[in-house]
Structure 1
Amino acid sequence: MAGLAREIAACRICAQRFAETATGHEPRPVVWFRPGARMLIAGQAPGARVHQSGKPFDDPSGDRLRDWLGLSAHEFYDTARVAIVPMAFCFPGYDAKGSDLPPPKVCGQTWHDRVMQELAQVRLTVLVGGYAHKYHLGVKTGVTETVKAWRERAPEVFTLPHPSWRNTAWLRKNPWFEAEVLPALRARVKEVMDE
Structure 2
Amino acid sequence: MQQLLKEARNCKFCEKHLPLGAKPIVNATKNSKIVLISQAPGRIVHQTGVAWNDQSGKKLREWLGVNENTFYQPNNFAILPMGFCYPGKAKTGDAPPRKECAPMWHNTILSELKNIELTILIGAYATNYYLPDDLNLTQKVKAYRDFLPNYWCLPHPSPVNRFWRTKNPWFEEEVVPKLQNRIRDIIA
TM-score of the pair, normalised by structure 2: 0.95
Alignment-derived partner of residue 173 in structure 1:
167
The one of 11, 27, 35 equivalent to 1:32 is 27
1:193 aligns with 2:187: yes
1:128 aligns with 2:122: yes
The letter of the residue matching 1:64 is K
The letter of the residue matching 1:30 is I
In 1: Cα distance, 2:89 partner to 2:162 partner: 21
Unaligned runs of 5+ in 2: none
RMSD (Å) for aligned C-alpha atoms = 1.4
- Identity over aligned pairs, percent: 40
Alignment-derived partner of residue 6 in structure 1:
6
Moved over 6 A (4+): none
1:130-183 residue CA offsets vs partner (Å, 9 max, x unmatched): 001011213242211111111212344210000001111111111110121111
Alignment-derived partner of residue 76 in structure 1:
71
Contact 1:134-1:140 within 8 A present in 2 as well:
no
Q: What's the offset of the Cα at 1:98?
A: 7.1
Secondary structure of the corresponding residue to residue 75 of structure 1: helix
The letter of the residue matching 1:5 is L
1:92 aligns with 2:87: yes
Alignment-derived partner of residue 177 in structure 2:
183
Contact 1:29-1:89 within 8 A present in 2 as well:
yes
Unaligned runs of 5+ in 1: 19-23
Moved more, 2-11 or 154-163: 154-163
The letter of the residue matching 1:143 is L
1:32-89 residue CA offsets vs partner (Å, 9 max, x unmatched): 1111101111111000000001111100000000000000000000012210110011
Contact 1:94-1:101 within 8 A present in 2 as well:
yes
Alignment-derived partner of residue 111 in structure 2:
117
Q: What's the offset of the Cα at 1:31?
A: 1.8
